[in-house]
Amino acid sequence: MRRSIPTPTGDPLPFVTGGNQPVGSKEQAASLRATPLLRSESVARFDALLHELNPDAVRVDIDRMQHLIDWLVSLPEREAHGVLDRRLARLEELRAMVHDPDWDADDATRVRLRKLFVYIDCNDDLILDHEPLLGLLDDVLLIELAWPAFSSEVEEYRDFSSYRNDEHPVGGGDERRGAWIQDRLAELALLKHQVRVNDSHYIHRGHPEDFFRVG
């Protein structure tokens, strides 16, 4: 079974191939295209950056970008802004992880995330940030398609942050992470023990006829 690709939210963007329309008819899609001009060289640079961050990401081209634009502008305004805001919230989670002195993200991850942040913080990118609604679409698409490269570490960081808030481990970052790992391993060992207990038979009852042997 093919595993689903991790996404920053529970509602993945409908980033589709050129042969599929995320909105209704071609005529409807064409009527919605009051959009910024997508330049092929800008799309190519965006795609190159994306694959520095996540080599396994789907390719980005003008057709796919245009279909995504058509879909976003077809939504009610509040819903469209929600699509953007939910993914930008995940960006803040990535920033928190990188800047948390208690977390030990490796150098390669930090370099890739800094490249992500530099793009997000730049106003002059694939779609100019001052464009109403659509100005942040390329930013959230980059977050969406790069997310699988960071998702496992984000899950670990979420769990560590929850543990730190609940248990208040003492010491510096190394000691706090060490306490988190030790306690989580202890919980895992206890869970495995409970599974073994549930699957075990401590009393061998023998065969019923053993209790009534005569002679």
Q: pLDDT by residue (tens digit) across 77-124?
A: 999 999 999 999 999 999 999 999 999 999 999 999 999 999 999 987
- Domain extent, residue 183, equals 169-199
Q: Which residue has the higher pLDDT, 127 or 200?
A: 127
- Summarize pLDDT for 57-84 with one digit per residue, the tens: 999 999 999 999 999 999 999 999 999 9
- What is the C-alpha radius of gyration for the chain, rounded to an integer number of angstroms? 25
Average pLDDT value for residue range 39-57:
94
In a domain, 4, yes or no: no
Residue 139 sits in the same domain as residue 178: no
Q: How many domains does the chain have?
A: 2
How many whole angstroms separate alpha carbon 55 and alpha carbon 149? 8
Q: Contact at 8 Å (CB) between 50 and 57?
A: yes
Any domain includes 77: yes
Query: Residue 207: inside a domain, yes or no?
Result: no
Alpha helices per DSSP H over 34-76: 40-53, 62-74
Residues 99 and 191 in one domain: no
Distance from the Cα of residue 137 to its chain's centroid: 16
Res 208: pLDDT: 53
In a domain, residue 129? The reply is: yes
pTM comes to 0.79
pLDDT score recorded for residue 1? 39
Taking all residues of the chain, what is their mean pLDDT, rounded to a whole number? 84
**Residue 10: inside a domain, yes or no?**
no
Asked if the model's pLDDT at residue 173 lies above 70, the reply is yes
For 186-196, the pLDDT digits (tens) are 998 888 878 88
Judge if 98 and 35 occupy the same domain.
Answer: yes
193 and 108 inside one domain: no
Q: Indicate the pLDDT class of residue 37, thresholds 50, 70 and 90.
A: low
Same domain, 147 and 183: no
Picking from 143, 14, 21, 134, the residue whose alpha carbon sits closest to that of residue 80 is 134
Does residue 136 sit within a domain? yes
Residue 91 lies in a domain: yes
Asked if residue 188 belongs to a domain, the reply is: yes
Whether residue 43 sits in one domain with residue 109: yes
On the question of pLDDT at 134 being above 50, the answer is: yes
- Alpha-carbon span 53 to 117, nearest angstrom: 11
